[in-house]
Chains A and B, each alone.
Chain A
Amino acid sequence: VQLVQSGAEVMTPGASVKVSCRASGYTFTNYYIHWVRQAPGQGLEWMGLINPSGDIKSYAQKLQGRLTVTRDTSTRTVYMELGSLTSDDTAVYYCARDAGAIWLGEKGLDFWGQGTLVTVSS
């Protein structure tokens, strides 16, 4: 199992960023994908998730309206787009697989991407 994320981004305040997460080594359509971020020197923050078919999503309330998670089954890729960026969004962004498959949440997040550093700076 591998989750490979897109490369680092430097963004200006007010812009949007789109990070990709390409999955391999397992049946893509069986597992939810979560997004988690970590600001420099800080802890982990859960951002949201998307179900295998892409029609069920949940976002952290503080990111509602700015966060969009989508998935493309044909390319086995999940995307995280965050808009209206501020310096507070500077962080490493991770995608992670929910190990429980259809039993969401029962087995934790077992495989993680390598992380994508997004820097927001004017």
Chain B
Amino acid sequence: IQLTQSPSSLSASVGDRVAIACRASQGISNYLAWYQQKPGKAPRLLMYAASTLQSGVPSRFTGSGSGTDFTLTISSLQPEDFATYYCQQLHTYPYTFGQGTKLEIK
């Protein structure tokens, strides 16, 4: 199963609302997770089951979607949110990742 994220990169300002899309090449129900990664660090789980917020993750992060189309939304960007975001499907082996979306400060 291929995952295609869009956009590949995004420039935004603190306080902006941004959305990152992830499209699966076939249906994966809600077996989708989102991760945030900062340079030199391991990924951090943000969301699982497409829309369930991982413990400790701020509520400005929301996830939606089912089947083939998913979205991660950040309601009001904070300085610590500038990072690269990945989606991952855990429905069918191999558990593929999207190619990533780099979120940069405008």
**Residues of A with Cβ closer than 8 Å to B?**
34, 36, 43-46, 48-49, 58, 60-61, 94, 96, 98-99, 104-110, 112-115
Contact = CB atoms under 8 A, between A and B. Distances in A.
Interface string B9-50: 000000000000000000000010101010000111101110
A39 to B, nearest CB: 12
Contacts of B97: 36, 43-46
What size tier do the contact residues of chain B reach?
Answer: 20 to 34
Nearest to A5: B42
Contacts of A46: 88, 94-97
B95 A113 contact: no
A105 B95 contact: yes
B91 A105 contact: yes
**Main DSSP-derived SS at the B contact region:** loop
B96 to A, nearest CB: 6
- Looking at B48, B88, B95, B98, the one whose CB has the most chain A CB atoms below 10 A away is B95
Interface of B: 31, 33, 35, 37, 42-45, 47-49, 52, 54, 86, 88, 90-91, 93-100
16 contacts: A43-B100, A44-B97, A44-B100, A98-B90, A99-B45, A105-B90, A106-B31, A107-B48, A108-B33, A108-B35, A109-B35, A110-B45, A110-B54, A112-B42, A112-B44, A115-B42
Contacts, number: 68
Contact of B90 (A48, A106, A112, A114): A106
Given A46-B95, A110-B54, A112-B42, A99 B88 contact: no
Contacts of B33: 107-109
Contacts of B42: 94, 96, 112-115
Please indicate which of the listed interface residues A48, A107, A114 has the most CB atoms of chain B within 10 Å of its own CB: A107
Contacts of B43: 36, 44, 94, 96, 109, 112
The list of the 4 closest CB pairs from A to B, nearest first, reads A105-B90, A108-B33, A108-B48, A112-B42
A51 to B, nearest CB: 13
